[in-house]
Every structure is written in C-alpha cells, then in structure tokens.
Structure 1
Amino acid sequence: MAAISFGSILLLLLSLSLAQLLRWNPMWFGRSAGELPSSSEFFVFHEHDTLDDALFQHVGQLGDEFDAYRNHCLRVLSFAVHHLGGLRNVTNRQVNLMALALAYHDIALWTDGKLDYLDPSAALLLRDLRKNDKSGSVQDLQDADFVTLREIVLQHHKLTTWTPPEGSQADELLVNAVRKGDWADATIGMIRFGLPAAYLEKAYTELPEGGFHRILARMGGRLSPDSITERLAVLNIFKL
C-alpha cells in the first residue's frame, strides 16, 4: 500500500511538472504560445548588415551550418534588444556593437575547432577588427567599444548578472542583455529571463532553428572524437 501511495505521489508530481512545463514553454510540445501585441518590444531581426558583414568573412569555415548559426545570432540579437527595452530604447551604435560581438560569440567552434571557445572567439574578433581597421572598414570604434565587444563574447555563458571589474570600460547593460538573450535561445526558452513564450515562438517561426542545437550537441564528438578529457573542456565556457 505504501509503495502504491509513493508511486501515486511520484506520478502526481511528474504530471504537475509536465503541466507547468507546458504552461511555461508550450512550443516545446508543438503548442502555440499565443499572440503578441504589435510592438517594437517584440521585434525580430531577419538581417543585420554589421552581423552579416562579419559572418561572411568566415562563410567557408561555417559551411552548410552558416544559416543555422546566423539565425541563432539574429534571435539572440532580437532578445537582447528586447531586454534593453525594445527598438525605441536602443541606439544604432548599441545594436551594431551587439551584432558584431554575436557574429563571433561561438565562432571558434568552427574556425579553431575549440570546445573551450570563448577566448579564441574573442581573439578572432579583435584580429579581424585590426585587419579591417587597416583597410579602413572599421569606423568610430572607441577603446571602450573593444572592451565591450570582448566581454560580450567572454561572458555570454554566465548564468548570473555580470558586473564589470573596477575600472572596466565595458558597457554592463549590453553585456548582460546579450547574456540573457543567448541563454534564452541556447535553452529554447527553459532559461529566458522573463521573455514571453510567444516571443520565442515568433522568433523561431521567423528564423528557423535549422538544427542549430543538434549541431552544438554533436560538437564534442566531432571536435574531440577520441578524448573524454578534451570533450570536458566545454565546461570551461560556463560561469556562475
């Protein structure tokens, strides 16, 4: 009798958990999350010149996974702008900085073949900026912008709020907006810092996932097929 009672309790808890998950993120179950009001707060970028210009420098390395990565970057950019209050509350300069950083935030998975990819991704961003600066294609970037770009890449897997160290010139608002946006997209809304489920559904409808999460899940075996130790290097990208 006790065993049946215990099993019934477990079944009830499981049912309640699934019901809460369905309520929290219905699109996981193929259900619509409802309509959003027409508002600049829920804007979805379908393209962005700064992001695309940066990404096309590495189209060869991204190969047939280019579109999946680009859509991920555009969804995160959209969510980041939402966290800053929507299009009416951000400047073109802020959006451009976030877009540029996002083009590189995971890029070393492809360009360097690194599971511990934050530092090499940030390094490639700065190398490309120096190269483009010599060609005259980088304009109006200040010292503080370079610091912000680097921190956006390095901190985008931090779960809790990032606070800049004393003396840092990094824009804390931009770093944390991208951080929240990336967690929302990487977890398909399980961790989303208040983003409405309907907004995620809108973003995934307009910018198809394209197998991006499956690509990430397979990176360990693809980049380090014979080394468990090397696969565990991916844990270095996560920060509390």
Structure 2
Amino acid sequence: MTSNDLRSEIESRLGPWQQKLGRDSAAYTNHILRVLTLCDLLAPDQQPPPSHREEYLTAATLHDIGIWSAGTFDYLAPSCDHARAWLASIDRGDLTDMVVPMINEHHKIRAAGAPDDAVEIFRRADAIDVEFGLLGRFGVSRSTYRHVAKRYPDNGFHRTLVRLTARRLRTNPTSPLPMLKW
C-alpha cells in the first residue's frame, strides 16, 4: 500500500466524522499517518507491516475519534465503541479483542505489554507523536521522527490538544486528562 493509498483509506474511514472533524481533519489524518509510520518503525520485522494490517488501521483511525464524535476529552469509551461498530460492519469482529485494548490503553503511562505486542507498539507510537519525539522514543531517533513529522505535518494537531486540555482543566480541574492510565 502506498502512502497515498494509506491516506485515502484513512480519509475514507473518517468519512462519517468529516463534518465534526471540521478544521481538525487534516491535523488528525496526519496524526494517524505519523502513528502508523511509527508503528512500522517500532515493528520492523512484522510482515505485513502494521500500517497494512486491519487491527492497526482501525485502532489508528479511531483511537481519538471520540474527541469529535462525542465532543469530549474523555474519549476512550466512544472511540472503542466506534471501533467495535467498524469491525462488525466489515465482518472483522475477530479483531475486537485486539483493537479495543489498543485504543483503550494508548495513553497508559506504563508499558501495556511486551515490546512486540500490538497494544504496546501502538501505545509507544502514539506517545512518540504526542510528545513530539522529545521524551521516550523507544529507539526511534529524533531525526527519524522529524522526517516523519515533515512528511505528515502537524497542521495544528498539538495546538488542538493544548486547547482541549485547557478547556477540560477549566471544567474538570480534578481530572484534566481523563484518558491517562497508570
């Protein structure tokens, strides 16, 4: 699958939420592409690579969608619900037990499994991107992350996260980041 094919696949999957994504559509699409690219880098021996596998495509496309679909920063449950529905709609319910933990654990602070486990690979890839490749990079060099970020520009994704965090902090000061888990 080429980079353009992957982008088209993601945009197609995001179709039902394009209106709700609004100005964040390009930012979220590129975040998904960065996460999938980082999954490939973190699992170089997996064949096919993660970005070509349904479980990673579904998890990556839908892992944050609850922010927009449910209008909440407490978005893990709605994102998991969308993943279940998507997998059922394509007759891949067999992947639910893998995809739901990939989404539900992607903001876990501690490891979510062995380094070669899909849940942990996905958690690490998302963490690298959310942290701009500045903190834990799990073997991905800073220059490699910069190359990935240049290929798939931020388009305001991190600015949106800061804005949403600030809004959540004002309305729920005791739970500003409800998606984080130990």
With normalisation by structure 1, the TM-score equals 0.66
* 1:67-92 alpha-carbon deviations (Å, 9 max, x no partner): 00000010000001111116xx3226
**Cα deviation, residue 113, structure 1:** 1.2
CA distance in 2, matches of 1:232, 1:108: 21
SS at match of 2:14: helix
Q: Tell me, in whole angstroms, the C-alpha distance in 1 between the residues paired with 2:170 and 2:109.
A: 30
Distance 1:46 1:173 in 2: 27
In the alignment, does 2:155 pair up with 1:210?
yes
Q: Which residue of 1 is the match for residue 77 of structure 2?
A: 119
Tell me by how many angstroms 1:192 deviates: 1.5
1:156 is paired with a residue of what secondary structure?
A: coil
Between the aligned partners of 2:93 and 2:86, the Cα distance in structure 1 is 16
In the superposition, the TM-score normalised over structure 2's length comes to 0.85
State the number of aligned residues.
177
C-alpha distance after superposition, 1:128-187 (max 9, x if no partner)? 443xx2xxxx14x252x11111011001111222139xxxxxxx7111111100000000
Select the residue among 29, 33, 43 that pairs with 1:70.
29
RMSD between aligned residues = 2.4
One-letter amino acid of the counterpart of residue 106, structure 1: D
Name the residue aligned to 1:90: 47
Q: Which residue of 2 aligns with 1:155?
A: 105
Question: Residue type of the partner of 1:90?
Answer: Q
Larger displacement relative to structure 2 (99-108 or 213-222): 213-222
1:201 is aligned with what amino acid?
Answer: R
Return 5+ residue gaps in structure 2 as ranges: none
In structure 1, list runs of 5 or more residues that go unmatched: 1-43, 165-171
| CA distance in structure 1 between the partners assigned to 2:31 and 2:17 by the alignment | 16
1:178 equivalent in alignment to 2:122: yes
Identity over the aligned pairs, expressed in percent? 25
Structure 1: distance between partners of 2:53 and 2:3 = 11
Is contact 2:10–2:61 with CA below 8 Å preserved after alignment? Answer: yes
Q: CA deviation at 1:46?
A: 5.2
Alpha-carbon distance in structure 2 between the residues aligned to 1:233 and 1:104: 23
Q: Distance in 2 between matches of 1:161 and 1:226?
A: 30
